[in-house]
Amino acid sequence: MKRRAFSLTAAVALAAPLLPLSARAQGAVPKEGKDYNKLAKPVASDVPAGKTEVLEFFWYSCGHCHSFEPMFATWMKTAPSNLVVHRVPVAFNASFVPAQKLYYTLEGLGKIEALHARVFRAIHVEKQKLAKDDDIMAWAAKQPELDMAKFKEMYQSFTVANQVRRATQLQEAYHVEGTPSMGVAGRYYTDGTMAGGLQAMLQVVNHLTTIKA
Q: What is the pLDDT of residues 147-186, one digit of tens each?
A: 999 999 999 999 999 999 999 999 999 999 999 999 999 9
Between CA 80 and CA 77 the distance in angstroms is 9
Rg of the Cα atoms in the chain: 17
Query: What is the reported pLDDT for 181?
Result: 98
Distance of CA 117 to the CA centre of its chain: 12
Cβ proximity of 156 and 143 under 8 Å? no
Query: What is the reported pLDDT for 106?
Result: 98
Provide the residue count of the chain. 213
Q: What is the largest distance, in Å, between two alpha-carbon atoms of the chain? A: 51
CATH tag, 56-208: 3.40.30.10
Between CA 72 and CA 53 the distance in angstroms is 15
Between CA 77 and CA 79 the distance in angstroms is 6
Other beta carbons within 10 angstroms of residue 140's beta carbon come to 22
CA nearest to 94, candidates 62, 57, 128, 131 = 131
Summarize the confidence of residues 9-14 as an average pLDDT: 33
Between CA 65 and CA 53 the distance in angstroms is 20
Q: 113 pLDDT exceeds 60?
A: yes
Cβ proximity of 194 and 180 under 8 Å? no
**pTM for this entry:** 0.88
Summarize the confidence of residues 57-69 as an average pLDDT: 98
